């Protein structure tokens, strides 16, 4: 069986680095990915949640920021959780194995 996904888009906010109780780094971020087709002349965008663990998470939190283009490669994961009212929810997210720069570094003034 195969579960592999690669997406390319811009980060919608700065990555958020956290650590587990045992000190393992985990970084969450969202990537805005434009679809290849247009609907009534407008491009639609998907906002895809991503999570990166350990060294990959530390790399993303250090070198990426809101608006930066990223290429994310990993696997799709469906995670179940309960909201504050106790309702069951499901979330699809990319568990990133590799994250690459999708653009050149912006010039700093």
**In 64-99, which residue ranges form alpha helices assigned H by DSSP?**
none
Maximum separation of any 2 CA atoms in the chain, in Å: 50
Identify whether the C-beta of residue 94 lies closer than 8 Å to the C-beta of residue 53: no
Which DSSP helix (H) or strand (E) runs through 62? helix 54-63
Residues 49 and 84 sit within 8 Å (Cβ to Cβ): no
Mean pLDDT of 83-105: 93
- The arithmetic mean of pLDDT across residues 6-31, rounded, is 97
Residue 32's SS3 state is strand
The predicted-structure confidence for 67-84, as pLDDT tens digits, reads as follows 999 999 999 999 999 999
Is 70 exceeded by the pLDDT of residue 7?
A: yes
The rounded mean pLDDT for the chain is 93
């Amino acid at each position: 069986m195969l579960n592999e996904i690669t997406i390319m888009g811009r980060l919608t906010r700065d990555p958020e680095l956290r650590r587990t109780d045992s000190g393992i780094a985990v970084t969450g971020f969202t990537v805005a990915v434009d679809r290849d087709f247009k609907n009534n002349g407008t491009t639609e965008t998907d906002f895809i949640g991503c999570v990166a663990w350990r060294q990959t998470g530390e790399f993303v939190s250090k070198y990426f920021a809101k608006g930066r283009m990223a290429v994310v490669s990993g696997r799709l994961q469906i995670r179940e959780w309960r909201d504050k009212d106790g309702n069951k929810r499901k979330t699809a997210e990319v568990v990133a194995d590799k994250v690459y720069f999708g653009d050149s570094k912006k010039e700093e003034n």
